[in-house]
Structure 1
Amino acid sequence: MDGASTYRVQLHPGFGFGDAAAIADYLADLGVTHLYCSPYLQAAPGSTHGYDVADPHRVNAELGGFDAHDTLVAALADHGLGQILDIVPNHMVTDATNPWWWDVLANGAASRFAPVFDIGWHERPDGVTDPVLVPVLGDHYGRVLESGELSIERLGARFVVRYYDHRFPLAPRTYESVLAGAADRAGSSALADLAESFGALPMPRVSEAEAARARHDLVERLVADLIELFDEDPSIAAAVDEELRTVNGENDRLDALLTRQNYRLARWRTASDELDYRRFFNIDSLIGVRVEDPAVLETTHELILRLVADGVVDGLRVDHVDGLRDPEQYLDRLADATDDTYVVVEKILEGHENLPSWRSAGTSGYDFLIRVNDLFVDSGNEAAMSDCYADFTGESTDYHEIVHAAKHQIMRDELVTEVERVTDLLADACASRRRHSDHTRRELRDALREYVAHFPVYRTYVAGGRPTSAADRDVIGAAVGATRSARPDIDAELVDLIGRLAVGDESDGGEFAARVQQLTAPVMAKGVEDTAFYRYHRLISLNEVGGDPSRFGRSVDEFHRLTAASASAWPNAMNTLSTHDTKRSADVRARLNVLSEVPSEWSATVERLAELATPHRSFDDLNAEYLLFQTLVGAWPIDAERAVAFMDKATREAKVHTSWVDPDPEYDLAIAAFTRAVVGDDRIATEIERFLRENDVVGRGRRNSLAQTALLLTAPGVPDTYQGSELWDLSLVDPDNRRPVDVDLRRLVAAESAAASAADVLARSDRGDPKFWMTRHLLRLRRERTHSFTGSDYEPLAVDGARSGQVVAFARPDLSVVVPTLGGDDWSGTTVETPPGDWTDALSGRRFDGGSIRLDELFADFPVSVLTRGAR
């Protein structure tokens, strides 16, 4: 991946393989080396993102299927482009289009695919397993049944349970109850024999693979016999249909049949308390996959591995690596299976956390995103911005208290099942220890929740068969210490036991250690990213995936230290500024960061905005109002519907006045009406535009954008450009950031800026020409001067003068990069010390002698400088 760069596209039914193929020429002209695709294995119908995989053995038919995929592969090859693919090893969708899940529902623990899914099968004393919970009903089961919303239907020679648009297979063993009645109606001994054979099928027990295959083959033979019988005598099929009408009309018979299934249909709210399978976060329609089983990894990755082996895919991005039972083991096996192909992992690093020494190229770039974003926040104004927030909203500015409360709320309301599963394991451990045998379940649950709430990172990576790392011991020790300090009422010995089990020091703690790691990660994700980030709004540009809103900015020296360390350990990690998961685009954050430089002006403005908004206000939520005002400033101009959609998502994610699970329609309507009225108020628009103009917020935000994009494209690592962000992109959280990209406009800008000067493109700033022009120049520079962008070489350059702390300057082989961070355009008296040689600015074309260079000369033509030495 030397000198490589990627361009991320979001594939969906409206932008499939053929559409991606059609932009291959544009991407090659832009200068990227690889198309970076969102997941494209067969997903649930209508999927807009591909993370809900339904069949890993096919590419998505809604994207065009295999033929269109071949077209894309050919187009990439024709233009010299490679391909990176995002993959989803952790979960699959529980949908009727998932043939493996369908088979599990039909055959229970005896299914050939039962080992694929992370289901907590519970065996009764007779060896039969309890049914899997399927929480899809809009009301309690009995009420749904009695209202006639459930029915059995025949599809050929198979039977399904129908609930509106949902379908579920009838267990083959239970066909007997329908077929026997139909045999009596038709007077068919052949049908009676088949009914008896279906009823004699083995009960659903956790069995060996060979037994599961044998059972499957027997079912298929019986179904084939039934088809033949229907074909020979249509009256028999008619008798079956008549029997079904009778069953569907008698609630007791229908109930008796449904209770014999390998699944239990239940009200959707039961999922949070009783779900018996691991899911993706709190989404019960996404079931965990057991890739820790080598056979499961092989079958779920069969197509992916073939694409890599055939040279179609050059690298992989592993989604949600922290959801896996043992990420290190998985990555080892993936590396072995792909001959160590390029792999990056979606991993959120907290604070001073370092990525474990996995067989990968590094992370997918959130750590880089945060490192860069922090540069553009004026830490000297932290107190002023905190006061502004507190004075306006009356909200607490203690972010860590908000996180702690949010984590507890998530465990109490949304991840109850996951907490109970680990509590079960803790109870088992305590039962075998006389000093802990009297702890009540409430005490165990309370201690576990507090431990998880104090967990400082997403998870640890303790696994049997290898030593626990010092870093993991430190993290677990910190969580134990914080729990004991915060809750002296909890038995300290119990907290210590949790720590010993989690760290792997107890011989019977392996399953506890594995499962608690798969608990801390979703609690962190849901508690922080999807709750606290929507409650704490001091400066929302800091509320980004992988970020810490309590840290107000970062020094240039710290940026250099972290970048050099990252380059040394992970020189080919992916770098990014915007993704499909970011809460705001890089350009929105770049503009919002300017607020940290003008806190007094912002404070006065937000008070005026609130006063002007008074006639529209019908609710009491100044925290949401403060969020809205920042959002409008960051994304202005924005239409009302985009703003309404954002505020609806933000307030529901905050889970204070409303939520996805327990919406408050009155509040939701009030927020929507207020947002729509505020955006449509000419006086408010005038005030926003005055603030932007008088403080040059748009211009300074654009300079920030150019600076951070220059860092993205020149720092060690593989830079990713998110779809459309080669022009200004003022997108908000998904689905806003997945809107269609105007490729025709970008082709026009490409044509008109091909031979343009810096002055030419700056004159067309409103259209985004400067960003596009610089991006194309630097991407092409990477292709032409691969040696300058390969390896871990990274040397900070000395900057002297009054504004020395507001410049990032570094050297790579025959390359010097200088970008501003804070402040205005006056760079007089500030210089950068470059290595010796003759230097040419790749953007302005100016030539400089090595040594001390004045920044007012360096930035005279363009806001950033990328100097090259020697011939290209």
Structure 2
Amino acid sequence: MTSSSESRVSESPVSESPVSESPVSGRPARHVPSSTYRLQFSAQQTFAHGVALLDYLDALGVGALYASPLLESGAGSNHGYDVVDPTRVSAERGGELGRKDLVAALRERGLGLLLDIVPNHVGVDVPLANPWWWDVLTHGRSSRHAAKFDVDWDAGPVLLPVLGEDENEALDALVVSPDRTELRYYEHAFPVAPGTADGTAREVHERQHYRLVSWKRGAAELTYRRFFDVSTLAAVRVEDPDVFEATHAEVLRWVAAGEVDGIRVDHPDGLSHPGEYLQRLRAAIGPDRWLLVEKILGVGEELPASWPVDGTTGYEALRHIGGVFVDPAGAGLLTQFTAEHVGSKESAHSGEHRARREVASTILAAEVRRIAGVAAAVPAVAAALDGAPEDALGDAVAELLCGFPVYRSYLPEGREALDTALTVARTHRPDLAPVLLALHAAMLADPHGELTTRVQQTSGMIMAKGVEDTAFYRWNRFVALNEVGGAPDRFGVSPAEFHAAAAAREASSPATMTTLSTHDTKRSEDVRARLAVLSEMPTEWIDVVRRWSARRPLPDRSLDLLAWQCLVGAWPIPADRMAAYLTKASKEAKLVTSHVEAVAEVDEAVAAWAGEVLSDPDLVAEIEAFVARIEGPGRSNSLGQKLLQLAGPGVPDIYQGTEFFEYSLVDPDNRRPVDFAARRATLGRLDEGELPEIGPDGAAKLLVTATAARLRRYRPELFAGYRALPASGPAAEHAVAFARGTASLLGPGAQASGMVAVATRLPVGLAARGGWGDTVLPLPDGADDWHDILTDTPVDGAAPRLGDLLLRYPVALLVRPA
């Protein structure tokens, strides 16, 4: 990017405001930014830090700051999803004055604000930090805040799984505070109800509206709804209008003051009635605010038509964009090797179902038990149980939950998903058919009833914990595909499928978000881009894994495959980061150890593995040599997928730091501090005319990111419409290109302008065939006055040779004069 190219992008007659009002599929105009930049606010990255970064983000070309949750959360939280008080802004992050300063600084630069909110749950890890929860524990069912929480009061006192494994021994450690107002268990404190403070600590405990129990009992006996299997996050009943008002009042105050341009809703699938909630939220924020949901769509799934939202946070786009850089020809050998290495030929589908069934009977057994209790009160279900075994109802509920092809249905919409769940459950347990049919009929008969609501809420939990957080750590044929919203059984995405998805996004949801990395992704975009190279060279990869694994094995063969892929994908990575990742991965997989049933010798071996590998000089030399072979093609893939995201339909998000090459694994690894000083300095050099090499410093990726982001911000007319541009010639399959904003797309009378994005796919295969040869890219409208704004060079002719067009970089961003 030269100074002249920056000037060309910036000197547009279009308004320079990055937040524009654009129609979305016939809906009212929204405040939709050109792009967003996600920042994770915490005590270490406060609002003041955000203010100091805005000149850089402004220069980068982004249209809006995408902020992690800003409400008061647990002390030291680096994510903000454990909100403890939704009535005030986080003090650690800068408090109300800091938030106001951030908003003012954004407005001064014309930048928008997209705010992440958490309607499903609040943090209860430290009860005293959450005024509502403390009051509920103090007064029980009579608490003025009791209705805010989804507690099964008929089951007795609220169970709090905080004690050690030996419950009786742990209760001996209870003490009453000197003022007799608290029960304390080491660092944990709980309230003492008025009039119950006399006697020993055990006697006081027995009089409370809660019971402290072993941490192991939470999975099967918990009496309040939670977030997935996290007992320290208690669900709130936002379906109640009063609870909605109480939990949203502060955020809605910001919206009413014009300080928020868009809302991103975390985990709507956990809500009782997501559609009704979103309609209430839309009414509260007004028709002109951008509204997104963190919704993971299955392959072919679409958002319910009744949801008044602009789209999702973009995991479906991640699958398409990343998948087009995966070589489907590698599937056969990698599948065969995986079966040989692991000793099993289990399919992805079978593995996912098995994992879901396991979590239903273990870590989410409390939810299954509660649904069974509700179902038993339905006369038709009770009749179907006549003569059935004692555990038939619990088994039927679990099987139904595990049969959904998507995260959940939204009855009366989405009945097909429930019907599929019934069919799958009957296939696995034909003996339970009468009970399953009764459950199915009861749900259809009362689509807003408690049984239907709890089944739908819990099916998403089963999918998330069984697939994302279990199967995706077990079925490790090719972990570049094991991503949130991914489909590991589908080995990549063809160019045709990629273009069809992009065109559909432009036609139906142009204001949806697109993403490549988030705080929740299993591996960063650049790790996945590097791993995609392995699909082009499966034989070489299989050979080194066999050798390395024999030299430094792990206690589990499946974990072994995962570890070597992640090691080369994130290389170079220190031993402590790799050890922390593998410890989490092994426990999520639940094959040889787990969070609940830890196996000390396995945990020790897993924790030591990275250090042993990195202290083996011969092995390190081999790893370095192999990574040297794949890192160049990996960077090509990184640049390609970044350009396709930034130039394609939807509103692209840039996760903090990923404008450089950034090789992170799952959280908390992907929340490490970002070196913004290096990025700021590099952007300055680019604006002085530097055209960087594609090296490890990430300058080339910053060039692509800033050039495309600035173009989106200052030339929004170029990002209308979508048309695939097929290359022609012997290497045509290695090019992915599309046009937007051209006269042929916009119709008669349109200005003769436009934009073309070109990326290289399967770079190893391209090099093996000797390069592009005579392959050309016919450009739209028969025009020959295109300019590559990445390199600030004119394009030769209306059908340039790709070997010339992509001589310096494996990507090109072409623009015609305005």
**Could you state the TM-score of these two structures normalised by the residue count of structure 1?**
0.85
Matched residue, 2:674: 741
- CA deviation after TM superposition for structure 1 residue 779, in Å: 0.9
The partner residue of 1:9 within 39, 44, 49 is 39
Letter of the aligned partner of 2:234 in structure 1? I
Matched residue, 1:131: 157
Instruction: Tell me whether 1:443 sits opposite 2:392 in the alignment.
Output: yes
The partner residue of 2:182 within 152, 160, 164 is 160
The share of aligned pairs that are identical, in percent, is: 44
SS at structure 1 position matched to 2:696: helix
Distance 1:652 1:144 in 2: 25
Matches within 5 A, 1:62-141: 62-94=92-124, 95-122=127-154, 130-141=156-167
* CA RMSD after TM alignment: 1.8
SS at structure 1 position matched to 2:622: helix
Matches within 5 A, 1:592-607: 592-607=531-546
Matched residue, 1:683: 618
Letter of the aligned partner of 1:477 in structure 2? D
Distance 1:429 1:436 in 2: 11
Distance 2:47 2:555 in 1: 48
Instruction: Tell me whether 1:150 sits opposite 2:174 in the alignment.
Output: yes
- CA deviation after TM superposition for structure 1 residue 601, in Å: 1.0
Matches within 5 A, 1:224-303: 247=199, 251=200, 254-303=201-250
Matched residue, 2:490: 551
Number of residue-to-residue matches in the alignment? 765
Matched residue, 2:303: 355
Distance 1:119 1:22 in 2: 43
Instruction: Tell me whether 1:785 sits opposite 2:715 in the alignment.
Output: yes
The partner residue of 2:326 within 350, 369, 377 is 377
Matched residue, 1:844: 791
Matched residue, 1:768: 698
Matched residue, 1:583: 522
- CA deviation after TM superposition for structure 1 residue 529, in Å: 0.6
Letter of the aligned partner of 1:308 in structure 2? V
Distance 2:696 2:643 in 1: 19
Distance 2:793 2:381 in 1: 76
Matched residue, 2:26: none
Distance 2:161 2:548 in 1: 45
Distance 1:115 1:295 in 2: 9
Matches within 5 A, 1:523-672: 523-613=462-552, 617=553, 620-672=555-607
After superposition, give the CA deviation of every residue in 1:337-395 in whole Å (9 maximum; x if it has no partner): 00031111101111211111211110001111111111111112210111222223324
After superposition, give the CA deviation of every residue in 1:649-695 in whole Å (9 maximum; x if it has no partner): 110111111111111111111122222111221111111122233xx
SS at structure 2 position matched to 1:19: helix
Instruction: Tell me whether 1:461 sits opposite 2:410 in the alignment.
Output: yes
SS at structure 1 position matched to 2:779: strand
Letter of the aligned partner of 1:152 in structure 2? V
SS at structure 2 position matched to 1:734: coil
After superposition, give the CA deviation of every residue in 1:318-348 in whole Å (9 maximum; x if it has no partner): 1111101111111100010000311111011
Distance 1:52 1:624 in 2: 30
The partner residue of 1:318 within 241, 265, 271 is 265
Please say if residues 140 and 266 of structure 1, whose CA atoms lie closer than 8 Å, have aligned partners that are also in contact.
no
Cα–Cα, structure 1 residues 162 and 796, in superposed 2: closer, same or farther, change >3 Å? same
Please say if residues 138 and 209 of structure 2, whose CA atoms lie closer than 8 Å, have aligned partners that are also in contact.
yes
Matches within 5 A, 1:712-727: 712-727=645-660
Letter of the aligned partner of 1:627 in structure 2? L
Cα–Cα, structure 1 residues 535 and 376, in superposed 2: closer, same or farther, change >3 Å? same
- CA deviation after TM superposition for structure 1 residue 507, in Å: 4.5
Distance 2:267 2:100 in 1: 28
SS at structure 2 position matched to 1:387: helix
After superposition, give the CA deviation of every residue in 1:484-518 in whole Å (9 maximum; x if it has no partner): 2233233x23222222233x2x2498211111001
- CA deviation after TM superposition for structure 1 residue 141, in Å: 4.5
- CA deviation after TM superposition for structure 1 residue 258, in Å: 2.1
After superposition, give the CA deviation of every residue in 1:48-98 in whole Å (9 maximum; x if it has no partner): 211000001111111121122222222222322221111100000113200
Instruction: Tell me whether 1:827 sits opposite 2:772 in the alignment.
Output: yes
Cα–Cα, structure 1 residues 432 and 719, in superposed 2: closer, same or farther, change >3 Å? closer
Distance 2:322 2:446 in 1: 44
Q: Which runs of 5+ in 2 are unaligned?
A: 1-18, 21-32, 742-753
Letter of the aligned partner of 1:809 in structure 2? A
Matched residue, 2:685: 752
Letter of the aligned partner of 1:350 in structure 2? G
Cα–Cα, structure 1 residues 866 and 648, in superposed 2: closer, same or farther, change >3 Å? same
Letter of the aligned partner of 2:53 in structure 1? I
Deviates more, 1:773-782 or 1:850-859: 850-859
Q: Which runs of 5+ in 1 are unaligned?
A: 124-129, 179-246, 463-467
Letter of the aligned partner of 1:552 in structure 2? F
Distance 1:269 1:781 in 2: 54
Matched residue, 2:79: 49
Please say if residues 122 and 234 of structure 2, whose CA atoms lie closer than 8 Å, have aligned partners that are also in contact.
yes
Letter of the aligned partner of 2:434 in structure 1? E
Please say if residues 431 and 437 of structure 1, whose CA atoms lie closer than 8 Å, have aligned partners that are also in contact.
no
Distance 1:589 1:63 in 2: 32
Distance 2:446 2:463 in 1: 27
Matched residue, 1:488: 430
Distance 1:391 1:360 in 2: 46
- CA deviation after TM superposition for structure 1 residue 20, in Å: 1.2
After superposition, give the CA deviation of every residue in 1:759-804 in whole Å (9 maximum; x if it has no partner): x312x622111001111111111111011225xx111123222232
Please say if residues 314 and 513 of structure 2, whose CA atoms lie closer than 8 Å, have aligned partners that are also in contact.
yes
Matched residue, 2:16: none
- CA deviation after TM superposition for structure 1 residue 114, in Å: 0.9
The partner residue of 1:805 within 722, 733, 737 is 733
Deviates more, 1:88-97 or 1:61-70: 61-70
SS at structure 2 position matched to 1:713: helix
Cα–Cα, structure 1 residues 381 and 397, in superposed 2: closer, same or farther, change >3 Å? farther
Distance 1:735 1:509 in 2: 38
Letter of the aligned partner of 1:372 in structure 2? I
The partner residue of 2:196 within 171, 174, 178 is 174
Please say if residues 501 and 510 of structure 1, whose CA atoms lie closer than 8 Å, have aligned partners that are also in contact.
no
SS at structure 2 position matched to 1:649: helix
Please say if residues 580 and 737 of structure 1, whose CA atoms lie closer than 8 Å, have aligned partners that are also in contact.
yes
After superposition, give the CA deviation of every residue in 1:103-153 in whole Å (9 maximum; x if it has no partner): 111111111111111111218xxxxxx3211221114554333x3x21222
- CA deviation after TM superposition for structure 1 residue 646, in Å: 0.9
Cα–Cα, structure 1 residues 507 and 604, in superposed 2: closer, same or farther, change >3 Å? closer
Letter of the aligned partner of 1:97 in structure 2? A
Matches within 5 A, 1:355-434: 355-357=303-305, 358-430=307-379, 434=383
After superposition, give the CA deviation of every residue in 1:147-169 in whole Å (9 maximum; x if it has no partner): 3x2122255xx711111111111
The partner residue of 1:474 within 406, 410, 416 is 416
Distance 2:579 2:447 in 1: 52
SS at structure 1 position matched to 2:465: helix
